[in-house]
Amino acid sequence: MQHHKVVIIGSGPAAHTAAIYLSRAELHPVLYEGMLANGIAAGGQLTTTTDVENFPGFPAGIGGSELMDAMRAQSLRFGTHVVTSTVSHLNLRKRPFELQLEEEDAASISADAVILATGASAKRLHLPGEEKYWQSGISACAVCDGAVPIFRNRELAVIGGGDSAAEEALFLTKYGSAVHVLVRRDKLRASSIMAKRLLAHPKIRMHYSCEAIECRGDGSLLTSLCIRGTTGAKEVTELPVSGLFYAIGHEPATQLVRGQIEVDADGYIRTEPGTSRTNVEGVFAAGDVQDKKYRQAVTSAGTGCIAALEAERWLSERETPVVVEERQAVNGSGQTYKENPQL
Ligand code: FAD
Ligand code: NDP
């Protein structure tokens, strides 16, 4: 059994920020970056996007994958040991905690402290026909799949009304002849800057208050999507699309700790407000796996920093318990009293 003081599970901005802090603190962290864990490449969700324009320090923007490569390089530079494997089991009921990797038969790693930074992954609707045409016209990542020839000069559809939907739809305008954006409510959730760009684009066709009900194809590729109004006559329309891209939000990747750690009603790991501490001592959570509200690269990095600092403090307190020695002191009236040097 290999033993480590602290391990980090994940490879997005939260994981790498934690790794940078822990390695600079000489705690020799081991970071398990995953091998397509939850269908996402090592580096996390930003590897599925083009330009990141809101991460501070890059006035001209930076490619998502490029940003994650730079974070990884920074983790390595300070001595983080990055392992390209997915953690398949984590036992938080034992001390030290035990981990097993996907390619192993039994737990082979133990750790005193764990930082969970497993992020989140795209939700799907599981419509009739979806399984058959998944990756044959249906995807949850326009940036990864949008450029393939089957989408060139064809009508495409994006489901969702948030920033991801806006970004994916705008990206797809480079390839498709038209991009239908299907929004379940009568308004977008996207930030105003993204919404403006979306609505101004000549290839975008907006459809509000509608839902997708079926994916149809020719046996090998998707050829159309049936949609239905959610208000009024609830008419069904068949859109002749060759591509369907989901952008309906994400699910926190908590399967490793299910039943072992406290989560909220939506499945996100609960952390003490303003901290990265979970209800299991020695286990810290950072990034999208514990944040259903902000879900940004910079907030993930921020909570990665908090998790590292808290893990570092927790480990040092365990190694060197604070001994409070009282001293004799004399007050202004000449009386002696016991003084606590920590106060
Ligand atoms: P994630 O980025 O979710 O990464 C977690 C990683 O952990 C994954 O690679 C996964 O494979 C790995 N993992 C999971 N389970 C395991 C396991 N068991 N073992 C090992 N590894 C595991 N935010 C912005 O601020 N600006 C943007 O412009 C922006 N654009 C976006 C565009 C898109 C299309 C999407 C989907 C999101 C975008 N975001 C953006 C949000 C941003 O990507 C996320 O908030 C951020 O990446 C979350 O970081 P994270 O560290 O929590 O983990
Ligand atoms: P969001 O949760 O923000 O939006 C999800 C969208 O999908 C909403 O419009 C939602 O509708 C819709 N939806 C959810 N479930 C269904 C369903 N079952 N059927 C149909 N529609 C559904 O997720 P995003 O992935 O868009 O964004 C996540 C985070 O990442 C956000 O914080 C966002 O700001 C950030 N991000 C930032 C970017 C940027 O700054 N450039 C780019 C991309 C993401 P409803 O509104 O009705 O709930």
- pLDDT of the residue at 342: 45
ω before 96 within 30° of 0 (cis)?
yes
What spacing in Å lies between the alpha carbon of 300 and ligand 1's midpoint? 9
Does residue 11 have its Cβ closer than 6 Å to ligand 2? no
pTM value is: 0.81
Task: For residues 239-252, give the mean pLDDT.
Answer: 95
pLDDT at 328 over 90: no
Annotated catalytic residues are 141, 144-145
Euclidean distance between CA atoms 193 and 273, whole angstroms: 30
* Token pair 């040097």 in the structure block, residue: 341
Say how many C-beta atoms besides its own lie within 10 A of residue 294's C-beta.
11
> To test ligand 1's pocket by mutation, which of 32, 46, 66, 115 has the most ligand atoms within 8 angstroms of CB?
46
pLDDT at 178 over 80: yes
Please give the DSSP secondary-structure letter assigned to residue 218.
S
Six-digit token string for 233: 């006559």
pLDDT at 311 over 70: yes
Euclidean distance between CA atoms 176 and 96, whole angstroms: 53
* Dihedral of the alpha carbons of 327, 332, 333, 334, in degrees to the nearest 10: 40
- Are 135 and 222 in contact by the 8 Å Cβ rule? The answer is no
Six-digit token string for 308: 């590292």
The pLDDT confidence band at residue 343, using thresholds 50, 70 and 90, is: very low
* b/e per residue 138-165 (b: at least 16 CB within 10 A): bbbbbbebbeeeebeebbbbbbbbbbbb
Euclidean distance between CA atoms 140 and 117, whole angstroms: 21
Chain segment 111-163, per-residue pLDDT in tens: 999 999 999 988 999 999 999 999 899 998 888 788 889 999 999 999 999 99
Closest residue CA from atom 41 of ligand 2: 163
Q: Where in 176-319 does DSSP place strands (E)?
A: 178-182, 204-207, 210-217, 222-229, 236-239, 243-246, 250-252, 283-285
Output 65 or 294, whichever has higher pLDDT.
Answer: 65
- Are 22 and 8 in contact by the 8 Å Cβ rule? The answer is yes
ω before 202 within 30° of 0 (cis)?
no
Nearest atom in ligand 2 to 165's CA: 26
Q: What amino acid is encoded at 303 in this protein? A: T
Nearest atom in ligand 2 to 123's CA: 15
- pLDDT of the residue at 13: 98
What spacing in Å lies between the alpha carbon of 127 and ligand 2's midpoint? 19
128 by Cβ neighbours in 10 Å (0-12 / 13-18 / 19+) ranks as exposed
Chain segment 32-78, per-residue pLDDT in tens: 999 999 888 999 999 988 888 899 999 999 999 999 999 999 999 99
Euclidean distance between CA atoms 305 and 286, whole angstroms: 8
Chain segment 182-219, per-residue pLDDT in tens: 999 999 999 999 999 999 999 999 999 999 999 999 99
Does residue 248 have its Cβ closer than 6 Å to ligand 2? yes
What spacing in Å lies between the alpha carbon of 314 and ligand 1's midpoint? 26
Q: What amino acid is encoded at 119 in this protein? A: G
